[in-house]
Amino acid sequence: MSAQGAGEHQFGYREADFDEVRARLYRRAGISLADSKQQMVYSRLSRRLRQLELPDFAAYLAYLDQHPGEWQPFINALTTNITAFFRERHHFEQLAELARDPARQGRPLRLWSAAASTGEEPYSMAIALHQALGGQVQQVRILASDIDTGVLETARQGIYPLERLAQLEPALKKRYFQRGTGANAGLARVVPEVQRMVEFRRINLLEPDWYLKGGLDAIFCRNVMIYFDKSTQVSLLERMVRLLRPDGLFFAGHSESFVQASHVVKLVSRTVYRPAPGEAA
C-alpha cells in the first residue's frame, strides 16, 4: 500500500498506518475492520487530515495520541450508519404485540435502541408503540444510544429529507411527521409527541458501565454485532440480556445469528430472541 499511497493518495498512507488505525478502533470501540477496508479508512480519515492540515497518516496518529478529544471524531469517521424507518418491519409488528400483551398493562414499558444512528429506528419504535397503545404512551420510555455523536445530534433534531420517508404509508407520514414550508421545504420533522418518547445518549458498548437499570422490555441491537469478533459478541450479548426482563425480547439484525450463544438467548421468531432461563434481570 505504501507505493499506492505515494502515487494515488494526497496523504501518506502506509500498510502500518492502516494496521494501527484498525488496532486502535478495535481497542476503543471493539470494531473489527477487515483487510478490505483499507480504502474506506483512507477516504474517511483523510477529511480529518485535511481539516487539521496534517501531511500524512503517521502525523494524524501522533496527533491522536496528543489530543484525547480527537478520539470522538476518529470513531465518528469510521463507524457505519445504515438505517431506515421501519427497517425489517416484522420487528415492529412484534414490538406492537409485546406492548399489547395484557400481562404488561399498567406498568411502564422501557426499551433500548442500542445503535440508534440518525434516529430512524427509535422513532419507528415510538410510532409503532403509539399506534399499538392508541396514543396512551405516557409510561413508554425509549433510550436511544450510539457511539457516534454526529448521528445522535441528527437524531435529536428529528428532521429528515422527505425522500427518507418515501417508503412509509401516506397515513403514517401525515400522522407522525410535520412537513416543512418555505426555507424548510423538502424536510419533515417527527411530531413532538413521538420525540418526547425517546431519550438520546452516547454509549460506547465496550465501556464497562452503561449506567442502565435492568428490567427492560426490549432491546433493539440490529446489525451491530457483525462488526465485533465472536468473543466480543457473546460478551456484549450476555451483558445486554442481563438487562432484560425474563419475558423481554432481543431484536437482532437480519444477518446476525447467535448459535454460539444458545446459553444466553433462545430464538423465538425471525431474528427475535428471549433470554435463556436464568439470564435475564
- Greatest alpha-carbon pair distance for the chain in Å reads 66
H helix runs in 9-119, sequence order = 15-29, 38-52, 57-66, 71-78, 89-100
In the numeric block, the cell 435529536 is attached to 156
146 is known as an active-site residue: yes
**Sheet (strand 159-161) strand order:** 159-161, 187-190, 177-179
| Residue in 106, 124, 104, 105 with CA at minimum distance from that of residue 116 | 124
**HSE-CB for 14 with a 13 A CA cutoff:** 9
Residue corresponding to grid cell 426499551? 111
Q: If you write DSSP's letter for every residue of 120-179 in order, what string do you get?
A: HHHHHHHHHHHHHTTT--TTEEEEEEES-HHHHHHHHHTEEEGGGGTTS-HHHHHHHEEE
Query: Please, are residues 136 and 193 in contact by the beta-carbon 8 Å criterion?
Result: no
Sheet strands side by side (includes 265-269): 198-202, 140-146, 109-113, 216-220, 244-251, 272-275, 265-269
Phi/psi at 169 (5° precision): -65, 145
- Are 220 and 111 in contact, with CB atoms under 8 Å apart? yes
Q: Which of 44, 48, 189, 245 is catalytic?
A: 44
Tell me if residue 24 is catalytic. no
Distance CA 210, CA 240 (A): 10
Catalytic-role residue among 17, 22, 146, 217: 146
Please give the positions annotated as active site.
Answer: 44, 146
